[in-house]
Amino acid sequence: MKFSLFAKYLQKLEETTKRLEMTNILTDLISNLSTEETDKAIYLASGYLEASFEGIKFNTADKLMIKILEQTFSTPENIKQNNLKNKIQTLYKKSGDLGTVVYELKGNNKKAKDLTISEVYSKLLEITQIEGTGSQDLKTSKVSSLLNDMEPLSAKHVTRIILGTMRLGFTELTIIAALANYLKNKSLAKNIEAKYNIHPDIGFIAKKIKGKGIEGIRDISMETGVPVLSQKCQRVSGMEEIPERIKHMWAEFKFDGTRIQLHFDKDKKIKNKDSQSNLFELEKGNKEDFLIRSYTRNLEETTHQYPEIIAAAKKQINARSVILDGEGIGYNKETGNFLPFQETIQRKRKYNIAEAAKNIPFKYFVFDILYLNGKSLVEKPLKERRQILTKIILPGEVIKVDEYLETETFEELEEYFQKAKSLGLEGIVVKSAEKAYEAGARSYSWVKYKTADRNLLSDSIDCVVLGYYNGKGARSKFGIGGFLVGIYDDKKETFKTISKIGTGLTEEDWVKMKNMCDNIKIKDKPSNVEMNKAFKPNVFVKPSLVVEIGADEISISPTHTAGYALRFPRLLKFREDKKATQATTLKEVEKMYVDRKK
């Protein structure tokens, strides 16, 4: 398919907010793609070049793109008029989107080359691989050349892909629905989603289906180096509800840390990736050439951030290959006490990793094993998986097999909860000892119960920041005086407002919030955000920043699009380990409201 035609599909997607229309547009696109270009088209439409866990990025900021545009459009006429820079800045200020700026500057360009999707994809991939001395100049030249070769609509969307600002309003679930439509059997969406949950590479799955139909994905299985979507916890209204949901209870401490999925495979040689170079600062001279990687719950590779876990894995894992699920948490070297999440998350960095590891050492509490020596274990009951886990983790100081309580009585569960509370932990997670691991699911086979003040909401809410308001009075110095948050409607795949927040932030928090929002600010309301005009912020942001919010109560709201509002909301913490679609859902808030009324 010619990229110019592909760009028309992207434009149609941009112009609708209706999920059914998006699904139909994607279905038509998939129908008209060749097998060889299907994965590339799906990646590009999603705004990236490969599965998110591969970590391929352009690392091109707006400032560099403006420099690229100056080079691209430096025609003799523009040079003569000496107004190109001002023209770019004026257009950018008006639209807030450099893709639109490129579209306006291109005008009616009839000299464009008729490139295919595969040709454009190859050029973009080549750009991401440029590094070393002079890399910025070479990248500028390559991007400029590509934009010159394209007609306006194609250049607009390619610019957004490079900047990471594609916001077409659909998720992988929409693509899955489109693939089922393409197969003319909507019920197959569940089969496709099940494969995606254990192998979350939607481009790979789409290409398999395009080539061989539903048979093409039957051989897709769990493998090391490909993260599995994490199972998530459901909420309960009170501890007394837990025994009603789970008879044979398996209780574990809930740490205020960061979810880490560890992949280890002695039979797989590593690729030449930055993420596995210089990992072993804690063990100088000790180098390995087999696969050891870690991932977050949102599929981001974090191997380089936890050198002590990687080093410990070589000593403590007694197996050829495993996939482990657990929680990483920082601790105080002097007291041994666990650190709060906001300190633990400071380990999420690109530079000075060895120094951070010394200042904030980590322990990795493993609570599940999903894969062992080439075979998936997720279908086995939790009790059996844990018996296997204890045999393959050897004693050590970094990797610990999480302790647990197995019980059928409420009294023992309450006692265990009080123990968690006395240790200063977040609470407990209770699981069904007989159930399989449900990748990507949020079901009542896992429930959480936190140590929140019983007079307030029994649990916090993970919200997505949708924009902010300019500061007034004492907050004018921060440039921000409040922000708008929403929750996720997973049925419509949209974000709905639930609260304006202006409390619970320190001066440092206000500065951080402003900086993080300014990095993702956009000109207009995104198509996947539902918002009453009364709450229109001064600055819109891309719905990607997740924050944990506490409140006294949930109430019915006729003005917030969620239908609910938070009373006395306050910021508890930034959740940089979560992506927007992992925020609290509308269905969960509805349940919290009903439970609270009870």
CA–CA gap between residue 281 and residue 239 (Å, rounded): 44
Q: Looking at residues 256-266, what average pLDDT do you find? A: 94
Q: Using CA atoms of 180, 181, 183, 184 in order, give the dihedral in degrees to the nearest 10.
A: 120
Whether the Cβ atoms of residue 99 and residue 168 lie closer than 8 Å to each other: no
Per-residue model confidence (pLDDT) at position 503 = 77
Tell me whether residue 115 is in a domain: yes
What does the pLDDT read at residue 284? 44
E-state strands within 136-239: 232-235
Average pLDDT, stretch 283-295?
Answer: 71
d(CA 60, CA 516): 17
Residue 335 pLDDT grade (very low, low, confident, very high; cuts 50, 70, 90): confident
d(CA 440, CA 96): 35
Q: How much is the CA Rg of the chain, to the nearest whole Å? A: 25
Residue 64: which CATH number? 1.10.3260.10
Q: How far from 565 is each of 106, 155, 477, 538, 590, CA to CA, in Å?
A: 45, 41, 28, 20, 11
82 Cβ neighbours under 8 A, 6+ residues apart: none
Residue 35 is assigned to a structural domain of this protein = no
Identify which of 398, 295, 397 has the alpha carbon closest to the alpha carbon of residue 348.
295
pLDDT tier, 78 (very low <50, low <70, confident <90, very high otherwise): low
Is residue 398 situated within a structural domain?
Answer: yes
Check whether residue 121 and residue 53 sit in a common domain: yes
Q: Is 109 exposed, middle or buried (0-12, 13-18, 19+ CB in 10 A)?
A: middle
Instruction: Tell me, yes or no, whether 276 and 364 share the same domain.
Output: yes
Per-chain mean pLDDT for the chain: 89
> What is the number of domains present in the chain?
3
pLDDT for res 455: 45
The CATH number assigned to the domain holding 444 equals 3.30.470.30
Retrieve residue 111's tokens. Answer: 């000299």
Closest to 486 (Cα-Cα) out of 462, 509, 469, 505: 462
What pLDDT is attached to residue 453? 41
Quick one: tokens of 215?
A: 């048979």
Query: For 157-181, how does the pLDDT look when each residue is reduced to its tens digit (9 = 90+)?
Result: 999 999 988 878 889 999 999 999 9
Distance separating alpha carbons of residues 514 and 476, to the nearest angstrom: 12
**How much is the pTM?**
0.81
Q: Token pair of 281, please?
A: 């600062």
CA–CA distance, 282 with 412 (Å, rounded to integer): 41
Looking at the fold, whether 274 and 407 belong to one and the same domain comes out as yes
Residues 505 and 411 in one domain: no
- The residue ranges of DSSP E strands in 427-481, in sequence order, are 427-432, 442-450, 461-469
316-320, 440-444, 453-457: range with highest mean pLDDT: 316-320
Q: What is the pLDDT of residue 279?
A: 45
pLDDT in tens, 13-40: 999 988 999 999 999 999 999 999 999 9
The predicted structure's pLDDT at residue 101: 93
Closest CA to 143 of 51, 58, 43, 83: 58
pLDDT at 549 over 80: yes
588 shares a domain with 466: yes
Mean of pLDDT values over 270-284 = 48
Same domain assignment for residues 483 and 416:
no
Pick from 404, 426, 450: which residue ends a domain?
450
The dihedral formed by the CA atoms of 112, 115, 117 and 121, expressed in degrees to the nearest 10: -90
- Which structural domain range is residue 478 located in? 461-597
What token pair was written down for 287?
């180098």
- pLDDT given for residue 454 in this prediction: 47
CATH number where 491 lies: 2.40.50.140
Dihedral sign of CA atoms 122, 128, 132, 134 in order: positive
E runs forming strands in 473-586: 482-489, 494-501, 521-522, 529-530, 539-541, 546-550, 553-556, 564-567, 570-574
For the segment 325-335, the average pLDDT, to the nearest whole number, is 89
Give residue-wise pLDDT tens across range 471-527: 776 666 788 989 999 999 998 999 999 999 987 788 889 999 999 999 898 888 998
- Whether 157 and 237 map to the same domain: the answer is no
Residue 78 and residue 82: Cα distance in Å, rounded?
6
Is residue 437 located within the same domain as residue 474? Answer: no
Report, as residue numbers or ranges, the catalytic residues: 254
Count the residues in the chain.
598
Domain end point (choices 163, 183, 199): 163
What residues have CB less than 8 Å from 210, skipping those under 6 apart?
30, 33, 35, 38, 182, 216
> What does the pLDDT read at residue 82?
62
**What CA–CA distance (Å, rounded) separates 551 from 567?**
6
Assess if residue 94 is contained within a domain. yes
Closest CA to 202 of 241, 172, 177: 172
In a domain, 226, yes or no: no
Confidence of residue 62 (pLDDT cuts 50, 70, 90): confident
Q: Do 471 and 343 fall into the same domain?
A: no
- pLDDT of the residue at 280: 45
Domain-located, residue 415: yes
Burial class, 121, CB count within 10 angstroms (exposed 0-12 / middle 13-18 / buried 19+): buried
In a domain, 591, yes or no: yes
| Confidence band for 283, pLDDT divided at 50, 70 and 90 | very low
Determine whether 343 is exposed, middle or buried from the number of CB atoms within 10 Å of its CB (0-12, 13-18, 19+): middle
Q: Which 3 state secondary structure label does DSSP give 456?
A: coil
Are residues 413 and 476 both part of a single domain?
no
**Both tokens of residue 101?**
């700026």
Q: Say what the pLDDT of residue 592 is.
A: 86
Last residue of a domain, one of 163, 182, 215: 163
Are 306 and 436 contained in the same domain? yes
The mean pLDDT value for 302-325 works out to 94
Q: 218 lies in a domain?
A: no
Are 357 and 492 found together in one domain? no
